[in-house]
Amino acid sequence: MAGRFISIKSRDGKTFQAYLATPDNKGASAGKGPGLVLCQEIFGVNAYIRELADRYAEEGYVVLAPDLFWRIEPGIELGYSSSDWQRAFALFQSFDVDLGMEDVGATVDTLRALPECVGGVGVVGYCLGGKLAALSVTRTSADVAVGYYGVGLEQHVEELAGEHPPLVLHIAELDKYAPAEVRDALTERLGKHPNVTLYSYPDADHAFARPGDHFNRPATQLAHQRTIAAIRNVVGPHFDFAALWETHCAYEFAIREIDPLMKTMVAEPYVNHIPTMTGGVGHQQLAHFYRNHFVNSNPPDTRLIPISRTIGATQLVDELLFCFTHTTPVDWMLPGVEPTGRRVEIPLVAIVRFRGDKLEHEHIYWDQASVLVQIGLLDPKGLPVAGVETARKLQDENLASNALMPNWSFGTRAG
């Protein structure tokens, strides 16, 4: 647990606790950032919610997760055993949504007043908290909100159909707590609202973002990306991903130093070179990979030629040519292959995700068959593969297309 608990004064003159997590950024803005209220599930501000708060703090937010069950019993923190589930549902059934929203509003106001909070305040919530987050755009001063698989939203459709700040709702299509008729009602009434965005996840169930039986990694990753994009669009913070990535690449290919390279990444990053499944997961393994099989293993004439770059709210996509002469072992691209002395020019795509101002992971793609053709390990005759022609075609779209298709013909169309 990286944060701490603070006291919040309720609007009826009492106090309750909230978990506070702050960003670990540097410089003049150290420990500061836009605010984010995190609304709990029905299990209280437990370890999962605190971990979420810490994760959002890494994204650059000052996060406050209030104990919203304090009026029933302060400090409730449940797990996911059958007995805990039963108690959680009992708490949910006795929870007063209107009083809960008063406490969410008090949390938003408290967060705005903290010296660490610089800029606007958003709200994000899960399950019960997903509904409370949605209602925060109509009942609090929140600037933006995101709700994950909110329960009982159909009871508040008319309220949410009015004017309010931006709202994103993540909907799980297998969610028994939001059956088809509920999803249809939300889509019909809110789908065309200018400030409401509905995202549906076809293979996901309720609580798909929480590790457990219903955890769905692809849905979780996509939903998180959309969440950060929505919040950053309204309250920030904004980072120079291009500069961060170029600094990282400089340590990889020019400066070739491991320790400062690793400092450009989160504490437990990962890299996956898709065609060869090389890289590493976690700081220790990835540092070992960089030190022994990447940074000091690329041929001295290695060159990266940029073709295009796309920058989003959480990630950067680079399209480039990766060029080298195979004079040294290149373990990550050609594991176990002795140097051939052959020239390689290969189109390569790097998808780089950031968490705050650090690299979180890299997914690197290229055509391994083309590499093998270029170093002489694969005879392209009779196969639908090409060698350096793929790099040439990337740079000049006027070069011949469809050369590998024996049945290709292109004549002048009559008319």
Task: Name, in order, each residue with C-beta under 8 angstroms of 372's C-beta and a sequence gap of 6 or more.
Answer: 378
How many CA atoms are closer than 13 Å to the CA of 202, on its beta-carbon side? 0
Residue 229 neighbours by CB distance under 10 Å = 16
Q: Omega of the bond prior to 218 within 30 degrees of 0, cis? A: no
From the candidates 54, 67, 164, 206, which is the catalytic residue? 206
Residue 355 neighbours by CB distance under 10 Å = 21
CA-to-CA distance for 151 and 42, rounded, in angstroms? 11
Strand order in the sheet with 144-148: 4-9, 15-21, 62-66, 33-39, 117-126, 144-148, 167-172, 196-201
From the candidates 175, 205, 318, 357, which is the catalytic residue? 175
| 288 belongs to the catalytic site | no
Q: From 209, 235, 75, 58, select the one nearest 144 (Cα to Cα).
A: 235
Sign for the CA dihedral angle at 397, 399, 402, 408 comes to: positive
Token look-up 């979780």 returns 220
Instruction: Write the Ramachandran bin of 260: left for phi over 0, alpha for psi from -120 to 50, otherwise beta.
Output: alpha
Ramachandran angles phi, psi of 83, nearest 5°: -70, -40
| 175 belongs to the catalytic site | yes
Task: Name, in order, each residue with C-beta under 8 angstroms of 382's C-beta and a sequence gap of 6 or more.
Answer: none
- Residues with catalytic annotation? 175, 206
